Each structure stands twice: as structure tokens, then as C-alpha cells.
Structure 1
């Protein structure tokens, strides 16, 4: 019974969780690692996982926390690499990226705080309502709407800094 429920949840939600993780990591292998950890957590805590559509929201919450852990590990790795590079004799290559409109939007989005990126991504990309996003983020629906409003305003300012008018 337990394995049958897990298989149903996995089949129903794998694609949503994978695409969410892929958008947050931009690397297929990292996204796969995140999804594996999310569903490992789901297996371990299957009794805590709500039934029905609430289960997907629960999985998004697990994925969000798993991604945060991966991000912290990536930053630790980058700090270590920077220390190693500082002690290395080889010069760094200066590579400049071309700025097209998609790159400008991505740059503006990248300058937002992670909390702003979370709420905007959950609503705009994942298609959740503010109330559903609130459940994923662990806050009230009112708080989620306020966070969404403020995140949209900050994003608009960042887009303006990139020369993109709304």
C-alpha cells in the first residue's frame, strides 16, 4: 500500500518537480540530484505528505528547501575554488557575455533576492495562486500576496535598470 501510494505520487508529480528544479539549477544533473532527494524525503515522510493537490505543494516546499541546501553547498564550493584560484599562478580569462533582451531579463531576475525569486517563480512559472505559494513558502496567504506585490515592484525596478520598460 505504501509503495503503491509513493509510485502514484511520483508518477503524478515527477515532471513538475523536475522542471521546477531545472529552472532553479539550470543544470540537468543538479536538477536530477535535487529531484532524487525530494522523492527520497517523500518516501521517508510519506505519512506526512498530504493527499491530492496538496501533495504537490508539499513536494514544492521540500524541493525549495533541498535547492537551498544545494545552493549553500555550491557557494561553499565556489569560495573554496576562489581561494585555490587566488593561490594559483594562472590568470583568469575575462569572458564577457552578450546582453540581449533575454539576458537582460535574466540579469534583472538574478539580482533579486532569493525570496523574491521564489515567490515570482512559484506564481509566474509554476502557475500557483498566491494562496498555494503561501503554503509552499510556509506563510499566510496575505503575507504571500504582500511578498508577491513587493517582489514584482523590485523586479520592475531591476528591469528598468536594464532598460526594459513595462
Structure 2
């Protein structure tokens, strides 16, 4: 993880921070929404970063920025829901197409996504932050606004629930097990 030198301030600090956090935040958003929304939310996140550059912690600006992006994404989703409701009042619209991995998902990828979809959203988000964003308990705590200890405990429990569901699914579908077809 890259860290910011302390002496930078104002526009110089923002430029350095933006260079550090833009790619991790973009990856976080791409895993959770479509590309256009991700770009809009990234822009909103960078605007918050610009306004609050003095508030960004020196030790982990990525986790702080992902926390801001998470809130911005929630706002974007609320706005999208309102737009959909309004659109349905005006006319019937086709549902959006599912975004797929360009390399093509494997049976294991599908099984993991299936199990994540069966978990509580809070458990799934913890696991995504840990696995996909590679945040530790301190970073997860920063993103979710909880203590590192609470993040560690919640992550442990979420991992247990995931393992139970995954093993249950693997027992039902042999293509998701290690020796199965992919």
C-alpha cells in the first residue's frame, strides 16, 4: 500500500491522494455496479476527497476513500431507484442486461457469486471488502465506520457463514468442488 508524505497540503496533496486512491476505488466500484455509474461515483468520491483533503487519514487513504465511495454508491443507487420508479410511471422499460466477466466465469466463480447472493448483504459486503479489495480489519472498519475489532469479529462470522453455505452447495453440485468440472 502506498502512503502519502505528510508535508503535502492543498492541491498538491489532493493530486497525490487521487493518484493513490483512484484505481482501488474504481476497482471497488466496478465490482459493485455498471461502468457508467462507477465513473460517476468515482467522480463524486474525488470531489469529496478534494473538499475534505485535510480530513483524509495519512495512514490509510484508500480505506477512507472506499468508505466515501460506498456512501456515494448508496446515494447513486437511491437516485437510480427513484428514476426507475418514475420511468415505470411513464412507460414500461426492459430490465438492464447483466454485466459479465469478459474472461468468462468458471463454475467456482458462479458458486461464489451464488453463495454471496444468499448471505446477508452486510456479510457479503464484509467478504468483498476483505477478498476483492484486500482490506484488513482496520481498513474494513474505516470503510464501514466500525472499530477494527468489530470488523474482525464480523468478518470471522461472515467467513464461517460463507463456508457453511459453500460446502452445502458443493455437496449438492459436484461442479463447484475442487475436483469437479470447470
Q: Same fold (TM over 0.5)?
A: yes
Distance in 2, matches of 1:157 and 1:132, equals 25
The correspondence for 1:102, drawn from 102, 105, 109, is 109
Distance in 2, matches of 1:59 and 1:91, equals 34
Q: Which structure 1 residue ranges, 5 or more long, are not aligned?
A: 93-98
Q: Structure 2 matches for 1:58-77, cutoff 5 A? A: 58-77=64-83
Across the aligned residues of Structure 1 and Structure 2, the Cα RMSD in angstroms comes to 2.9
Structure 1 length-normalised TM: 0.78
Structure 2 length-normalised TM: 0.72
Distance in 1, matches of 2:20 and 2:10, equals 15
Structure 2 residue 21 is matched with structure 1 residue 13: yes
Distance in 1, matches of 2:86 and 2:120, equals 23
Distance in 2, matches of 1:21 and 1:144, equals 21
Q: Which structure 2 residue ranges, 5 or more long, are not aligned?
A: 1-8, 96-105, 171-175
- Classify 1:154/1:165 alpha carbon distance in 2 versus 1 (closer, same or farther; 3 Å): farther
User: How far did residue 58 of structure 1 move?
Assistant: 1.1
Aligned residues: 156
